[in-house]
Amino acid sequence: MIKRLCPVLAAAVLCGCSPEPSQERLVETGQGDAWLQPPAVEQVARTPSGLSVSGVTGPGARVVLRGGEGQAFAATAAPSGRFDIRLNAGEGDLILTPEVQHGQARAISPDRLVILSSGTTALLRVGDATRRLDEVRGELDAVDWDGRLMVLSGRVQPGGQAAVSLDGAAPTMLPSDAEGRWSLGATTAREVRVDKRAYRVPLMAGDAPGVERSGDGWIVRWSPPGGGRQAVWLPDRS
């Protein structure tokens, strides 16, 4: 029998062995002390020449998205703190680490930004469900797994409910937040039904970080700060 866990408990278990988000102290002469926070990526949008990654950080800070193979994409934030980083088409599958620089100080985000050549985009987060950034809403957005626990997440109409069934059990009605996002923790699940659509979740065991095609979606394996392994399955959009 599948054991269901509430979303809050699921997030707590996922982050149980993970560190807090990275912060570095920034001292500005004559202006007192401040905390330099990692940038918050909010959106990935298509442009005629490629992609636009936008979000918010400190005013005038330099935001860099770094890849594991030496890639780096950067922009300077506006006085409002908004930033917009442009990526050319054809960069391939990317797993990027956001960071912010201000003078000699920098703060590295514990999150990872995934941009796949298939068009799938997502923000992998430590201690929380993966946040899909695709413009098309999906019944099931992601299945996160840390070797012990799964966290399923998706989107419905804001304020609506999702009927989620695991391995043929009776559906659980899950409320959504103001953006229509819901999440559910489980010890394991292979057959998932969200409302009227069925999904088969692939096995995600493996040590090597990277991206691979599996079933009707993509598996991304990554290493959070402090070590360890996490994986996420990102289903295709219909």
Query: Domain containing 83: what range?
Result: 21-109
Residues 207 and 168 reside in one and the same domain:
yes
The angle subtended at Cα 216 by Cα 236 and Cα 194, nearest 5°, is 70
Q: Is 185 helix (H, G, I), strand (E, B) or coil?
A: strand
Residue 123 lies in a domain: no
Q: What percent of the chain has pLDDT over 70?
A: 84
Domain count within the chain: 2
pLDDT digits (tens, 9 = 90+) for 212-237: 999 999 999 998 887 788 999 999 98
In this structure, how many other beta carbons lie within 10 angstroms of the beta carbon of residue 183? 24
- Calculate Rg over the CA atoms of the chain: 18
Which band of pLDDT confidence, cut at 50, 70 and 90, is reported for residue 238? low
Residues 62 and 92 reside in one and the same domain:
yes
Residues 13 and 39 reside in one and the same domain:
no
Residues 187 and 201 reside in one and the same domain:
yes
Residue 1 lies in a domain: yes
* CATH code at position 41: 2.60.40.10
pLDDT digits (tens, 9 = 90+) for 147-201: 889 999 999 999 899 999 999 999 999 999 999 999 999 998 999 999 989 999 9
Res 90: pLDDT:
81
Which residues are CB-contacts of 221 (< 8 A; sequence separation ≥ 6)? 204, 206, 207, 208, 209, 210, 229, 230, 231
Domain boundary among 91, 109, 127: 109
Residues 144 and 166 reside in one and the same domain:
yes
Within the chain, how many helices (H) and strands (E) appear? 1, 23
How much is the pTM?
A: 0.82
Domain boundary among 109, 125, 146: 109
In this structure, how many other beta carbons lie within 10 angstroms of the beta carbon of residue 179? 12
Among 2-16, 31-45, 64-78, 199-213, the minimum mean pLDDT is found in 2-16
pLDDT digits (tens, 9 = 90+) for 39-73: 999 999 988 889 999 999 999 999 999 998 889 99
